[in-house]
Amino acid sequence: MTDIERIDQLREELHVHNYNYYVLNAPVISDLEFDKLMRELQDLEALHPEYYDPNSPSVRVGSDLNKNFTQVEHKYPMLSLGNTYSQAEVTEFYERVSKSLNEEFELCCEMKYDGTSISLTYEDGKLVRAVTRGDGVRGDDVTDNVKTIRSIPLVLHGEGYPKNFEIRGEILMPWNVFEELNRERELREEPLFANPRNAASGTLKSQNSAVVANRKLDAYLYYLLGDNLPHDGHYENLQEAAKWGFKISHISRKARTLQEVFDFINYWDVERKNLPVATDGIVLKVNSLRQQRNLGYTAKSPRWAIAYKFQAERALTKLEKVTYQVGRTGAVTPVANLDPVQLSGTVVRRASLHNADIIASLDLHIGDMVYVEKGGEIIPKITGVEVSARPAGSEKVTFITHCPECGSELVRYEDEAAYYCTNETACPPQIKGKIEHFISRRAMNIEGLGPETVDLFYQEGLIHNIADLYTLQTADICRLERMGEKSAENIIQGIERSKEVPYERVLFALGIRFVGETVAKKVAKAFRSIEALASANLDDLIHVDEIGEKIAGSIIQYFANEKNRILVERLRQSGLKLEADEEDLSGYSDKLKGMSIVISGVFARHSRDEYKALIEKHGGKNVGSISKKTSFILAGDNMGPSKLEKAQQLNIPIKDENEFLAMIEEE
Ligand code: AMP
Ligand code: ZN
């Protein structure tokens, strides 16, 4: 088989695997096999740039090319929907439609997904453009970012789709991805996203599609537009679209009577809490496109649809006191303790207060009557104070100055909202938090162990740090109350199995401040063993892509602490993977070993980040700025004049892309 034939074959196969996994939720190959096929495709495509295809499955991994979005005018304006919170207005809508149409009609009842809307244009079965709603008339062209969303087909299946059509839908960040992202951001002390909607729209506007690819967005498509749609029914068209490879909501139902509509609303108002994505209401649409045309539009919204929004849930209750939680990183979070109050089906006793600034801006006093809300957010929050109800002489809430757990004085770093306890190695919640992070699913994934067990082991003095886990004996555990022999054995087996966890995840599991999952991967790629990492200096570290001084400083500080070095040594003796596996290196060479290479300008044959990857793949290092140590400059068109001057000054050789590709070409 020629390379070109193989590329075609891989593209076709990967499209199908994508669809099985992301739309049908039924993968037929393992993630590992998938990655392998993808890597093979990327490698072949790199060898045959002339065979570039904008809809190849490889575009799904994104690119870090920076570009501002161009604005595109919508073919059909993207209007908003009439909104209501009351069932009485739903009845009015129904009656209005009934009267205008003066014939039988069906309503399609759908979830109102709470993300960010998107318009996709397909031509000849290929995705050609993805545009945000913008101001309704024109939006941003975010095609490259949208291509990284795996549940959006790049190439359609089957047949019968119109030559040209538009499909609209909602781009969403599933709850679990959102929570994980916020955990990561918390670890890196970055501002948290308030809800999945903000996270989805923020991500979609990212200038770096590789970031988008990492964030695992999802999408539901909910409306087809075009001249030659297969059916007159909106619902029926979507069923057809599902056959072409689109992810549609299987919750949608057609209703003929108001009673059916209310049954749908009442059922999903409760049941939506079990959905993997955020929803904020129900959308009702007249199903027949002919009837939709008859009803038409007002200036702002269609007359044939309405959104019924679920109540934004809010309650008024008394603030009893403020307590403080110390997290794994030592960050201190204030928590409002409330007089228990019923809110959206649960009793709320506590609400997050985020940080000292928020407390100050609310001007909180103990005993205040406060408004608590549970919107799209996971943890209820205090959104306001009923100042008129403030008891005379009540005490203003002021942030604590010392750690409630260990008594150390708290510090606040420059540019940061949070206060920290810096007593890392002796503050109990920090110790326990580190162990909990270490065993968590994304880190060492130790089955049978959870936060309560960690707490118990810590209380009983069985473990004081992560290395102690590996010297635990079944007998030690059995001695504890509530622990049977069977569960003790499970725990020990789980710990044993964690020794197979790859190096990059061990790095993440260590819980070095600012080293989240993504950073750990980058670090593991650049420093193939923990010794290499421990002996790296600031300069070595900041030369790694995406690692700035903040992260580098934290890594250096970690290994400068003798307690941590001892810990790592004990982990090594226990047999954990503290270096990268050999097989990770397959397809790699060391043709560029020891070389520092600066990339500059615009290229014809590969993108900048493909060149970056090629440099790393062949053992070189891609660095940002020219210095005496630079081995050569990989220059495309329009290399910056200051770089050119500096290169000439320092006598650094300049190679164009053909020379570079020749250098790394296999003989
Ligand atoms: P609003 O922004 O409140 O005016 O509501 C309109 C928005 O709801 C649309 O722009 C879509 O982004 C979103 N939406 C979510 N689910 C649906 C759905 N099933 N049908 C139509 N729009 C939806
Ligand atoms: Zn402390």
CA–centroid distance for 52 within its chain: 28
Q: What per-residue confidence (pLDDT) applies to 113?
A: 95
Atom of ligand 1 nearest to the CA of 280: 15
Contacts of 452 (CB under 8 A, 6+ apart): none
- Residue 478 amino acid letter: C
Q: Is 83 in the pocket of ligand 1 (CB under 6 A)?
A: yes
Ramachandran angles phi, psi of 225, nearest 5° = -130, 145
Task: Cite the annotated binding site by residue number.
Answer: 31-35, 80-81, 110, 133, 170, 285, 309, 403, 406, 421, 427
**pLDDT reported for residue 377:** 55
CA-CA distances (angstroms) from residue 527 to 78, 530, 546, 575?
49, 7, 14, 19
CA 620 to chain centre: 30
Instruction: List, by residue number, the catalytic residues.
Output: 112
Instruction: Compute and round to an integer the Cα radius of gyration of the chain.
Output: 28
**For residue 2, what pLDDT is reported?**
86
- Distance, CA 23 to ligand 1 centroid (Å)? 21
> Domains in the chain, please, with CATH?
3-61 (1.10.287.610), 83-309 (3.30.470.30), 314-411 (2.40.50.140), 428-500 (1.10.150.20), 503-585 (1.10.150.20), 596-663 (3.40.50.10190)
Q: Give the three-class secondary structure for 32.
A: helix
For residue 142, give both structure tokens.
């975010």
Strand 632-635 versus strand 654-655 pairing type:
parallel
- Could you tell me the distance, in angstroms and rounded to a whole number, from the CA of residue 76 to the centre of ligand 1? 15
State residue 63's pLDDT score.
Answer: 60
The number of the ligand 1 atom at minimal distance from the alpha carbon of 133 is: 10
Question: How many Å apart are CA 231 and CA 238, to the nearest integer?
Answer: 9
In this structure, what is the dihedral angle of CA atoms 60, 61, 66, 71, given to the nearest 10 degrees?
20
Which residues does 191 contact at the CB level (< 8 Å), separation at least 6? 185
596 vs 102: CA distance, rounded Å: 75
Give CA–CA dist 371/384, Å, rounded: 5
What pLDDT does residue 23 have? 82
Whether the CB-CB separation of 79 and 301 falls below 8 Å is answered with yes
Q: What are phi and psi for residue 438, nearest 5 degrees?
A: -55, -45
Nearest CA, atom 2, ligand 1: 80
Mean pLDDT by 10 residues, the chain (667 residues): 89 88 80 82 81 83 64 89 90 96 97 95 96 89 92 92 96 91 75 82 84 89 94 96 95 96 93 89 97 91 93 85 90 93 80 88 94 73 89 93 96 85 90 92 88 90 94 90 86 94 95 88 90 92 86 94 93 95 64 89 79 84 85 86 84 90 72
CB atoms within 10 A of CB 99: 8
**3-class secondary structure, 326:** strand
What is the predicted pLDDT for the residue at 468? 96
Question: What is the pLDDT at residue 153?
Answer: 95
- pLDDT for res 376: 54
Predicted pLDDT at 66: 42
Three-point CA angle 230, 236, 240, nearest 5°: 60
The CA–CA distances, whole Å, from 96 to 303, 371, 560, 649 equal 9, 37, 72, 77
Most ligand 1 atoms within 8 A of CB, residue of 117, 249, 287, 301 to mutate: 117
Q: What is the C-alpha separation between 108 and 249, in angstroms, rounded? A: 12
77 lines ligand 1 (CB under 6 A): no
CA distance 513 to 520: 11
Q: How far is the CA of 325 from the centre of ligand 2 (A)?
A: 10
Query: Which residues participate in the annotated binding site for NAD(+)?
Result: 31-35, 80-81, 110, 133, 170, 285, 309
- Exposed, middle or buried, 549 (CB in 10 Å: 0-12/13-18/19+)? exposed
Q: Which residue has the tokens 């204030």?
A: 334
Atom of ligand 1 nearest to the CA of 307: 5
Is the whole model's pTM more than 0.85, yes or no? no
